Amino acid sequence: MSEYTKIYETSAINTGGRDGVSYLSDGSYEVKIATPKKLGGTGNGQNPEQLFALGYAACFHGALELVKGQHKVKNNSQVSQVVSLWKKPDAADFKLEVAIEVGIQDVSLEETQKFAEAAHAICPYSKALEGNITIFVRATDYDASKEK
């Protein structure tokens, strides 16, 4: 890591596991954590997979914006992360899988795929996960109805 310079650090704390509270140590954000109803929990909060999807989507989109900027592309874009939790039958063994969908307004699917793959190569989340979980990256049509 000697060729890298640390530019940011944060700290998060969880109490209660999947039915508790997670918060940033600086007090700027707190979220109630709950097991999904589908998995026998209350569903009255967010689960780790949802929070992971939010963070990864934001990080990936930041990398995509950098790649678009290098190519002088200013078109709107969107990144969707689908995080799946997998379990081995009859074992306490779990894993994640991620499907990343990237849409760039008025850019072909072929060109969008190139930008998405370039973003995947520099995204810190993608680098951290490389070789550890299955990640699919694919271009999709830009959907203006998803903009907030």
Q: Does domain 1-46 have CATH number 2.60.120.560?
A: no
Could you report the per-residue pLDDT of 21-45, keeping only the tens digit for each?
999 999 999 999 999 999 999 999 9
The pLDDT of residue 1 is 58
- CATH code for the structural domain at 48-146: 3.30.300.20
Domain ranges within the chain, ordered by starting residue: 1-46, 48-146
1-46 matches 48-146 in fold: no
The pLDDT of residue 30 is 97
The H or E element that residue 102 is part of is: strand 94-104
Could you report the per-residue pLDDT of 6-21, keeping only the tens digit for each?
989 999 999 999 999 9
Could you report the per-residue pLDDT of 86-132, keeping only the tens digit for each?
999 999 999 999 999 999 999 999 999 999 999 999 999 999 999 99
Beta strands in 11-93 (DSSP E): 12-15, 21-24, 30-32, 77-87
